[in-house]
Structure 1
């Protein structure tokens, strides 16, 4: 028979000390096993055998936790195209496609990446790779500095859209798509003259073709569009508002 007598706390094995690294590592493990949406402060505290209040000493809130998890997972992005030979545009797209692949592996991660702002080493490495390729392509540094944001935003949003509309995550996705297709094809020339008859164009192209076109459009526009003049006096530009 097992010993049912209560044990003193002094007789129990000591729990590992909480650290931010340990908390994030446990969260990443849960994401890989259960998905990001299941990783709440309460769920994480249970896994670490502590109370949620203890976690807030190391992580301010769920958004900060998810940002740290995102940065950790960004370590899986293949940045090697940035240092290879070949067309810089193709190599930049390869980095972004790898980024999208990492997001698509974890349900909910792409939607979270739209709103959270990681600041860890893996995110910095991703920015470094993109800026290196843009510099190689002759994009002025100031435009490249602004341009990496829409590049990542488009890659993230496209992945989030596909994740949300995927059959596995959205059972009604096919019905929604069919309804949109019917609406576009049935648009009245009288009510929607610029829309009627263009359903084929609006719905054309594979996801890969559209993705590549999005990136090329952004790169072409980035190289040709100067940044706006800062209207603030020179001495006021030292501090970001």
Structure 2
């Protein structure tokens, strides 16, 4: 029997194709008709695998959440280091698929990978001694920070037109036209600066609020700031 010219339709193929379409053209490009065209199938055949567009979008978002590394939460790392490494992996996944961020920012919903992520972060904080209410708020804070950092580029928002930044009106923006040229370094540097500041603040709060008799799994954190696992210095 001759091999079919197109791959057999599956939920995995549908989700991967939908993500590729969103990555290339944005959320508005996703429709049943467009997806069927991309897959060279009839529209109704898609419903054998995904019942609605909302279900498909949930599956696409959850596939992105499946790219986030959670291994640091089971490796026995101090909680600040675990949060730092997770935040970096989380941002990398979102930066690879920025068009999906507005949907993802709504919360985990019924998405298994997103729920595993929330469970891992919350569990790490509670096991470190954080009160459950504060652990919930910190998990939300971290998600706000990471998703916000991946939503858009600060540097790219400044046009590369030196004439736009008249010194009479904007005395401190004389070099702003160069920001877009260095977009990657600026955006990555801003994320790292914010992440370190956020974790330093949480560490101070931890030292004030967590019972001094409780285990202190954060003790290795300050040492790692002088020489991180990724070889950087923390400056």
Q: TM-score by structure 2 length?
A: 0.60
* Cα distance change on mapping 1:16 and 1:159 into 2, 3 Å: closer
Partner of 2:148: 157
Residues 157-213 of structure 1 deviation map (CA, whole Å, 9 limit, x = unaligned): 111133xx454xxxxx22399979977767xxxxxxxxxxxxxxxxxx844112322
Structure 2: runs of 5+ lacking an equivalent: 173-188, 210-235
* Cα distance change on mapping 1:78 and 1:15 into 2, 3 Å: closer
Asked whether the equivalents of residues 111 and 157 of structure 1 are also in contact (C-alpha less than 8 Å), the reply is no
1:175 and 2:159 matched: yes
Partner of 2:196: 212
Structure 1: runs of 5+ lacking an equivalent: 1-12, 168-172, 187-204, 225-241
Alignment of 1:37-186 (within 5 A): 37=27, 38-52=29-43, 55=46, 59=50, 61-115=52-106, 117-162=108-153, 165=154, 167=156, 173-175=157-159
* Cα distance change on mapping 1:28 and 1:185 into 2, 3 Å: same
Asked whether the equivalents of residues 108 and 115 of structure 2 are also in contact (C-alpha less than 8 Å), the reply is no
Partner of 1:198: none
1:76 is paired with a residue whose SS is coil
Asked whether the equivalents of residues 70 and 118 of structure 1 are also in contact (C-alpha less than 8 Å), the reply is no
1:139 is paired with a residue whose SS is coil
Q: For 2:84 and 2:75, how far apart are their aligned partners in 1?
A: 13
The number of equivalent residue pairs is: 188
Asked whether the equivalents of residues 71 and 118 of structure 1 are also in contact (C-alpha less than 8 Å), the reply is no
Q: Indicate the structure whose relative CO is greater, using CA pairs within 8 Å and at least 6 residues apart.
A: 2
